[in-house]
Amino acid sequence: MALLFSSRFHDPEVWRTALTVHIPDLEMRVWPDAGDPLEIDAALVWGPKRGELKYYPNLRVIISMGAGVEHILRDSDLPANVPIVRTFDPHMQGAMVEYVVLHVLRHHRHMPEIVENQRRGEWVKYGPEDTPGTTVGIMGLGAFGAPPAQALDAIGFRVVGWSRTDKEFSGVESFVGEAGLSDFLAQSNILVCLLPLTPETEGIINASLLEQLPPGACVINAARGGHLVEEDLLAALDSGHIKAATLDVFREEPLPADNPFWSHPKVTITPHNASDPHPRWVAGIIAENLRRAREGSDLLNVVNLSHGY
């Protein structure tokens, strides 16, 4: 049986090398050269072409090349009854902790302004900052939201989290669903989005959400570009209600050269690299899911299709 590799964004040979360490006899076919469709029993994908995956009648598992799965679920023509699994590992979770802590601290310690002042040769003092009096609000307390929440608590910030179901993490106050959103937002001086992109969360960072944040709040989006209504953030930055933003993800990637975020003085752009799934890190978990799918045993990190993540 063979693994189908399908991504326009990843180098198949790098992934083949990493996977072969765990599966020495790996048979991997790179789309569109899938060979006999009957031989494909697993697919490792990022943004597969619409309808592509239903051409393999013996497919046992669809493996996302990363933690997000919206790039698979947007295909309305997926094969029925084939489980989808997400891919991440502790290295990736650690990288997200670094990214969120880095950008929270940059905003908290006024680094964008200090760097600008240095360019102008201006000595301007800020602070001292009240860290326990600063609340970081994390939207999404899953595999990538919970570890930064706990790291920020350890540094001394007040941390609140928002999720669909209640959470009990020490040092993180939990807010739940629609009913808890306004109270959560009203206290989030720095808002971090780590939600999956689903029909419920598409466009969630919009004018109505932004106006519920305290004046001078900062926004960090490390989830998906589809969470953000770009014009609404630009308006909130230009009015001064939102002080600054860090954006790792965009509706169109790479971010087009004429996008106003590139030159906006209050925006920091990173090129969707908060936490990349490095093949060497995640090959082990992918190999494990492939082995389980072939044996018919329980898979790891299975997507709940009714929740969409």
- Does 165 engage in binding with ligand NDP (CB under 6 A)? yes
DSSP codes joined into one string, 223-282? S-GGGB-HHHHHHHHHHTSEEEEEE---SSSSPPTT-GGGG-TTEEE--S-SS---HHHH
- Does 142 engage in binding with ligand OXD (CB under 6 A)? no
From the number of C-beta atoms within 10 Å of its C-beta (0-12, 13-18, 19+), residue 8 rates as: exposed
**Closest to ligand OXD by CB, 253 or 288:** 253
Site size for ligand NDP (CB under 6 A): 28
| Count of Cβ atoms closer than 10 Å to residue 75 Cβ | 18
Structure letter (DSSP) for residue 166 = -
DSSP codes joined into one string, 12-68? HHHHHHHHHHH-TT--EEETT---SGGGEEEEEEESPPTTGGGG-TT--EEEESSS-
**Closest to ligand NDP by CB, 52 or 248:** 248
Is 50 labeled as catalytic in the residue annotation? no
- Does 68 engage in binding with ligand OXD (CB under 6 A)? yes
- Does 226 engage in binding with ligand NDP (CB under 6 A)? no
Near ligand NDP in 205-224, by CB under 6 A? 222-224
Q: Which of 86, 158, 224, 227 is catalytic?
A: 224
- Does 164 engage in binding with ligand NDP (CB under 6 A)? yes
**Closest to ligand NDP by CB, 34 or 152:** 152
Binding segment for ligand NDP (CB under 6 A), chosen from 15-23, 45-53, 137-145, 284-292, is: 137-145
Is 103 labeled as catalytic in the residue annotation? no
Q: Which residue reads 């979770």 in tokens? A: 93
Which one of residues 89, 113, 200, 230 is an interface residue with ligand NDP (CB under 6 A)?
200
Binding segment for ligand OXD (CB under 6 A), chosen from 60-68, 125-133, 185-193, 289-297, is: 60-68
Instruction: Name the binder of 222 from ligand NDP, ligand OXD, none, CB < 5-8 A by kind.
Output: ligand NDP
In whole angstroms, the minimum distance from the beta carbon of 179 to ligand NDP comes to 11
218 close to 242: Cβ distance less than 8 angstroms: yes
Per-residue burial over 100-139, b if 16 or more Cβ lie within 10 Å, else e, is bbebbbbbbebbbbeeeeeeeeeeeeeeeeeeeebbbbbb
State the greatest distance between any 2 C-alpha atoms of the chain, in Å, as a whole number.
68
Instruction: Name the binder of 144 from ligand OXD, ligand NDP, none, CB < 5-8 A by kind.
Output: ligand NDP
Instruction: Name the binder of 112 from ligand OXD, ligand NDP, none, CB < 5-8 A by kind.
Output: none
Convert residues 253-282 into a mask of x (bound to ligand NDP by CB under 6 A) and - (unbound): -------------------x-xx-------
Convert residues 47-76 into a mask of x (bound to ligand NDP by CB under 6 A) and - (unbound): --------------------xx--------
Q: What does each C-alpha distance from 92 to 89, 97, 147, 238 come to in angstroms?
A: 5, 9, 11, 34
DSSP SS3 for 220: strand
For the annotated catalytic residues, the residue numbers are: 224, 272
